[in-house]
Amino acid sequence: MTDSIAAGEGVTLTRRDMVTAFTALGLGGIASVLVGGCTPRDGDEGIGAAQKVLLGAVAETIIPATDTAGAEAAGVVAFIEKMVDTWLHPEERTRFLAGMKRFDADVRRIAGKGYVELPAPEKLRVLTMIAEKEAKPAPKELVVPADGPFVAQMKALTIFGYYTSEAGASEELALDLVPGAYDACHAIAPGDHAPALGGSSPSLRFP
């Protein structure tokens, strides 16, 4: 990957130049995203290699591969990692990472092994069990839980990431960049794909 960016006729900017210029304007955070990096956050370990494998297994359980690509093939894990690193508020990020650790511990307690080691039917059973547990009301004195709800958070990120990917938007759904007249009651026959644009487009509401 080159470290220089063409800025116009006869002008070339390096990544260092961009970061320096944006920092001088007080836009260092934007610069880190534009040049492909992110500023490490203090106080947590982030998502490591083992965690990526776990996230991939959970995402694939939520949207498995069928006649179209599943969550992993659509690049959902990279999307989740980017969202957690650069988009979530610090409190949301802390809850997600803590929820991920708690989820791993719960799976090992329930199934006796890690989530990625389970066969597909057992993955779905355990994921459903933990999701039902998370959905129970928290104690009144616990206004904001210290972690999670991890499964609900993963569902939100996985669905949003998948249906904004090329596979989700153009293979699982039908992408028509120049649609015709709007038909709110258009019938979708068996085998048809729902439209990728319009009312069916996903919007992220993070739990």
> Residue 113 has what pLDDT?
95
Mean pLDDT score, 31-57:
68
Q: Measured between alpha carbons, how far is 81 from 101 in angstroms, rounded to an integer?
A: 15
pTM over 0.75: no
Same domain, 57 and 133: yes
Q: How many domains does the chain divide into?
A: 2
Three-state secondary structure readout of 109-155: HHHCCCHHHCCHHHHHHHHHHHHHHHCCCCCCCCCCCCCCCHHHHHH
Is the residue at 159 inside a domain?
Answer: yes
The whole-number pLDDT of residue 32 equals: 46
- Mean pLDDT of all residues in 106-127: 96
Q: Do residues 135 and 161 both lie within one domain? A: yes
Tens digits of residue pLDDT in 117-135: 999 999 999 999 999 998 8
Residue 205 located in a structural domain: no
Show the domain range for 13: 1-39
